């Protein structure tokens, strides 16, 4: 059993903790948190040992009647690997502690690439991180782009990617974030930093990205152009994307018109927290004009990196090869069942 510590128990950390617990070859040593709020209380209810991330704040937990198993340093020491899901920038600060206890660690995509030894996406570069000390699981948007780029690159070759990322302004519970009624170029200067981030996974890829921020909370939306080095027809590209393990090509007959409908589907499917771990690509949108591929994909900012973190644990520790790990992760999380049949129900196999 791989002993995994989770440092930071917010949007990403709590999801990773649940996913790790579901893995047959992993166990959660504990989770670390800075203060006793509803998520700390939830961790205890779920039976996770809770560690105090900040020494001085331990009394606050006591006051709130929440038992503490120890300090974060103990968690790091007892773990084979730590998933650091602290807010952006804190992960970098924690790197020294992980080094001190000689515990490999995964940071999240909000950290700078030069803080880490390598960046990671399960589909794209699983084999490159074995034995590294500090590995970054790239951000939700970069994960979504990487999953799309990998098969296209392998199958057709890519001349250039141009992507407009229409990003949600904040997560559903982040009530302090805007905009309320605006569409914001963000960042204004182009190309945006998202392209270079994809280059940490695909160093030689030509990619230009543009970012916007809009008043929505559910998912990011990517408006994608890929100039291929071949001219497949759209149906062929669609087949390729449907065959991938973490893409959900939305069939027309489902009638899903946006992120709200996708989330409804995920709720009905019984997904925990209505999470959508897959890239959601509108099948109808997949189209070719000459060598130019176009499509729309929606990315669930809160959860698409969760299975990636699970795989990164095995990849760094060398505990499984790529295919084994992805399959084990998907099966344990229920990702392999899919959100819905991707073909019309009439065409779908009876037991799907």
Catalytic residues: 140
Report the run of H or E that residue 239 belongs to, with start and end: helix 234-242
Annotate each residue in 296-315 with x if it binds a copy of itself (CB under 8 A) or - if it does not, as one string: x-x-----------------
Q: What is the per-residue DSSP string for 246-294? A: TEEEE-GGG---SHHHHHHHHHHTT-GGG---SEEEEGGG-EEETTEEE
Per CB under 8 A, which of residues 80..99 are in contact with a copy of itself?
none
Cβ neighbours of residue 287 under 8 Å, at least 6 residues apart? 234, 293, 294, 295
- What secondary structure letter does DSSP report for 205? -
> Given the complex with a copy of itself, which of 93 and 239 has the nearer CB atom?
239
Of 33, 136, 147, 168, the residue at the interface with a copy of itself (CB under 8 A) is 168
- Residue among 55, 51, 86, 82 nearest 69 (CA): 51
Region label for 70, one of left (φ > 0), alpha (ψ between -120 and 50) or beta (otherwise): left
Q: Please give the structure tokens belonging to residue 82.
A: 């730590």
Per CB under 8 A, which of residues 18..37 are in contact with a copy of itself?
36-37
Judge whether 208 and 264 are in contact, CB under 8 Å.
no
Per CB under 8 A, which of residues 247..276 are in contact with a copy of itself?
253-261, 263-265, 267-270, 272-274
> Given the complex with a copy of itself, which of 223 and 322 has the nearer CB atom?
223
Of 177, 232, 236, 317, the residue at the interface with a copy of itself (CB under 8 A) is 177
Cβ neighbours of residue 60 under 8 Å, at least 6 residues apart? 35, 36
Which region, judged by CB under 8 A, interacts with a copy of itself, from 80-88, 180-188, 238-246, 307-315? 180-188
Q: Please give the structure tokens belonging to residue 43.
A: 């961790």
Which region, judged by CB under 8 A, interacts with a copy of itself, from 110-118, 140-148, 293-301, 320-328? 293-301
Q: In whole angstroms, how close is the CB of 174 to a copy of itself at the nearest point?
A: 7
Whole-number Å distance between alpha carbons of 277 and 274: 10
> Given the complex with a copy of itself, which of 24 and 270 has the nearer CB atom?
270
> Given the complex with a copy of itself, which of 1 and 173 has the nearer CB atom?
173
- Residue among 33, 39, 28, 40 nearest 66 (CA): 40
42 binds a copy of itself, rule: CB under 8 A: yes
175 binds a copy of itself, rule: CB under 8 A: yes
Q: Which residue has the tokens 């893995």?
A: 23
172 binds a copy of itself, rule: CB under 8 A: yes
Per CB under 8 A, which of residues 118..157 are in contact with a copy of itself?
none
> Total residues contacting a copy of itself (rule CB under 8 A)?
87
Q: In whole angstroms, how close is the CB of 265 to a copy of itself at the nearest point?
A: 6
Per CB under 8 A, which of residues 208..247 are in contact with a copy of itself?
208, 210, 212, 214-221, 223, 225
Could you tell me what percentage of the chain is helix, strand and coil, using 3-state DSSP and rounding each to the nearest 5?
Answer: 40, 25, 40
Of 70, 110, 151, 341, the residue at the interface with a copy of itself (CB under 8 A) is 341
């Amino acid at each position: 059993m791989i002993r995994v510590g989770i440092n930071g128990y917010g949007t990403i950390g709590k999801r990773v903790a649940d996913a790790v617990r579901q893995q047959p070859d992993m166990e959660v040593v504990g989770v670390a948190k800075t203060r006793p709020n509803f998520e700390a209380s939830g961790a205890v209810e779920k039976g996770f040992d809770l560690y105090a991330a900040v020494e001085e704040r331990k009394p606050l937990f006591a006051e709130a009647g929440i038992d503490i198993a120890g300090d974060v340093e103990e968690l790091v020491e007892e773990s084979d690997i730590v998933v650091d899901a602290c807010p952006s920038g804190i992960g970098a600060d924690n790197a020294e502690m992980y080094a001190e206890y000689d515990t490999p660690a995964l940071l999240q995509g909000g950290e700078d690439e030069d803080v880490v030894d390598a960046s990671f996406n399960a589909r794209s570069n699983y084999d490159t991180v074995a034995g590294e000390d500090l590995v970054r699981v790239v951000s939700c948007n970069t994960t979504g782009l990487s999953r799309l780029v990998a098969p296209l690159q392998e199958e057709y070759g890519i001349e250039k990617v141009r992507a407009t990322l229409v990003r949600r302004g904040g997560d559903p519970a982040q009530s302090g974030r805007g905009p309320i009624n605006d569409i914001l170029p963000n960042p204004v200067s182009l190309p945006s930093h998202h392209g270079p981030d994809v280059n940490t996974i695909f160093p030689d890829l030509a990619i230009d990205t543009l970012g916007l921020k809009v008043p929505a909370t559910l998912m990011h939306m990517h408006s994608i152009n890929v100039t291929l080095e071949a001219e497949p027809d759209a149906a062929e590209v669609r087949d390729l994307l449907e065959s991938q393990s973490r893409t959900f090509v939305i069939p027309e007959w489902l009638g899903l018109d946006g992120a709200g409908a996708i989330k409804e589907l995920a709720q009905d499917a019984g997904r925990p927290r209505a999470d959508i771990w897959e890239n959601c690509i509108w099948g109808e949108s997949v189209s070719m004009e000459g060598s130019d591929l176009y499509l729309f994909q929606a990315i669930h900012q809160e959860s698409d990196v969760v299975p990636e973190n699970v795989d990164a644990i095995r990849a760094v520790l060398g505990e499984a090869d790529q295919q084994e790990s992805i399959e084990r992760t998907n099966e344990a999380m229920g990702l392999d069942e899919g959100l819905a049949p991707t073909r019309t129900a009439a065409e779908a196999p009876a037991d799907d």
